[in-house]
Structure 1
Amino acid sequence: MKKQLFLFINLEFVKITFHLCKKNTMLRLNVTNETSKLRAVVLGTAESCGPTPKPEDAYDPKSLEHILAGTYPVEADMVNEMEAFNMVLTKYNVQVFRPSVLKDCNQIFSRDIAFVIEDVFFKANILPDREEEFLAINHVLEQIDPNKIVYLPEEAHIEGGDVMPWNDYIFIGTYTAENYSHQITARTNKIAVEYIRKYFPNKTVKSFELRKSTNARENALHLDCCFQPVGTNKAILHKNGFLIEEEYQWLVDYFGRENIFEITSDEMYHMFSNVFSISPEVVVSEKNFTRLNNWLRAQGFIVEEIPYAEIAKQEGLLRCSTMPLIRD
């Protein structure tokens, strides 16, 4: 009897220990801004991204431009660029998750498929053809409290590139014109903006109407294509990415003109605003962004330069490739 009781107690101890260990391995999500020290992130993958798409399958005007020109990036180059990014993240002791590799599937832009605000993980309502990309991060979802995972209603269209937590604010890029449903570059609608506003009543949700175009040099696919905070009080900005000048001016007034790096149309085309902050002091940037990188260093930032020009041909860059899970 004593032996049976001993075995029972030990079995219960093993169960409790296993439960506690499992609980302790859960990811404690925390993202309240764009620049606090990064602890954990999902970085996309370029492995098995498939052949060059057909023109009719292009999701954005810049990809279409390179498909037609015969300059669309090849997998080997993009894999090398992403590995350079991974090495920088590892250098700063960031826990890096990668998606499970799907055959012939472009999984580079993990920012599109989900985003975190505070301790809540939101599944983005992305283009239907990209749904399997979300399934490829199931191993990450298993480490998140199910009560902290939110699936937005089907009519609330949103992608992570349009969502920027910034302390007491949540900045969201959107497009609310009547032709929304016919505009493939419009990714976040007003229903989604209102959903986020109601979900975080203690935050100020500030939306910005973005310029959408089939011309790659005019199109702001997401908010991070024309705006991004860096450090604690500075920002990269492009005026023409905003449809409403007053909304652009609000950002100028908020950050202060002296703290803003204004990029040109050509620099927006090359994705100058789509850098990525590892901390308030460290920014990962494309090595060819000479004017921006010099400005960042002059402001006191450490700039980690990597090659990313091939991936940029798909109208996405460093921020687009990442989905932060935990920041201090």
Structure 2
Amino acid sequence: MMQLNIVDETSPLKAVILGTAKSCGPVPSPDEAYDPKSLEHILAGTYPKEADMEKEMDAFAKVFQKYGVEVYRPEILQNCNQIFARDIAFVIEDKLFHANILPDREREFVAIHEVLDKIDPNKVIRPPEEVHIEGGDVMPWNDYIFIGTYTGPDYPDYITARTNREAVEYIRRMFPYKTVKSFELRKSNTDPKENALHLDCCFQPVGKDKAILHRNGFLLEEEYQWLVDHFGKDNVFEINKDEMYQMFSNVFSISPEVVVSEKGFTRLNNWLREQGFTVEEIPYAEIAKQEGLLRCSTMPLIRE
């Protein structure tokens, strides 16, 4: 049996699910787009090609191999985009939560059966139906669980609003001994520079005490300020609107010392190196066109 263990974003990674770009289907039509960035590329004729995305994901897999991480891949479903493993499930402590996602993505969850078969079924949890939650909005951070949400009355109007108020309450009930801190995110169905699809699109901790942050991703100044104060101003790398759009905050930590990043993120990668991190740079700009990057494509199972 596999013993799941995730209590933060950066402890040394032992096992992970990495999505796949194989057989991800034809270019969606504009009305099939789930987010404004995909829509922009569909309309511009620059939507990423499967072969290019496969190359990018292979480069990611090679980095995991280099660090001795056990990598699981989903079973390949025909014409199904299975790149973003983070959406379908997430682990907190020793439990795997089956996300209630857009209904046509349900089969993506079934495709990770190789992992599910190794986990005690009592540790695989399906939240009640009214709980909408995706892994990109959930960040365990030691005594905290950070959750991105949108609780406006117009929640149903936003296909980009993925985690609701009920989800925050649910996680509070599940982990009463943790401090669950929620953050209202800015949503837009039409402008990718004004849309924080998930919390990891505008914030992510790195190392033991640092963070990447984008102020405009947060609707409430005081929630953004709480994070600045929590990590300390000198430990925060503030990204601008264009960098958020390129997904600068969606890097991925293999350990407190090692960060996987997109090779075009020069300003961020230089800062990380100045802070003493080893930065593993890979090409990921094609996948980024779908408003997801490195953290979105992974679902960590075990960190030590």
Paired AA for residue 62 in structure 2: M
Give the greater-gyration-radius structure (CA).
1
After TM superposition, the runs of 4+ consecutive aligned structure 1 residues lying more than 3 A away are none
- Give, in whole Å, the separation in 1 of the partners of 2:66 and 2:3: 22
1:220 maps to what in 2? 196
2:111 maps to what in 1? 136
Paired AA for residue 209 in structure 1: E
1:48 maps to what in 2? 23
2:245 maps to what in 1? 269
- Give, in whole Å, the separation in 2 of the partners of 1:125 and 1:240: 27
1:118-133 residue pairs with structure 2 within 5 A? 118-133=93-108
What displacement does 1:182 show? 1.3
What displacement does 1:268 show? 0.1
* Structure 1 unaligned blocks of 5 or more: 1-25
Paired AA for residue 236 in structure 1: I
1:255 maps to what in 2? 231
CA RMSD of aligned residues (A): 0.4
1:17 maps to what in 2? none
**Does 2:302 match 1:293?**
no
Paired AA for residue 289 in structure 1: F
Q: Deviations over 1:133-173 (max 9, x none)?
A: 00100111000011111100011000000000000000000
2:59 maps to what in 1? 84
Q: Deviations over 1:160-195 (max 9, x none)?
A: 000000000000000000011111000000101100
1:175 maps to what in 2? 150
Paired AA for residue 120 in structure 2: D
- Give, in whole Å, the separation in 1 of the partners of 2:158 and 2:206: 30
Paired AA for residue 72 in structure 2: F
**Does 2:33 match 1:33?**
no
> Which SS does the other structure have where 1:192 is aligned?
helix
> Which SS does the other structure have where 2:80 is aligned?
coil
Percent identity (aligned): 76
**Does 2:42 match 1:67?**
yes
- Give, in whole Å, the separation in 1 of the partners of 2:183 and 2:234: 22
* Structure 2 unaligned blocks of 5 or more: none
1:104 maps to what in 2? 79
Paired AA for residue 135 in structure 2: G
1:147-166 residue pairs with structure 2 within 5 A? 147-166=122-141
- Give, in whole Å, the separation in 2 of the partners of 1:271 and 1:286: 9
What displacement does 1:129 show? 1.4
- Give, in whole Å, the separation in 2 of the partners of 1:265 and 1:225: 11
- Give, in whole Å, the separation in 2 of the partners of 1:184 and 1:149: 26
Q: Deviations over 1:230-268 (max 9, x none)?
A: 000000000000000000000000000000000000000
Paired AA for residue 236 in structure 2: I
Equivalent residue in structure 2 for 1:317, among 293, 298, 302: 293
Aligned length: 303
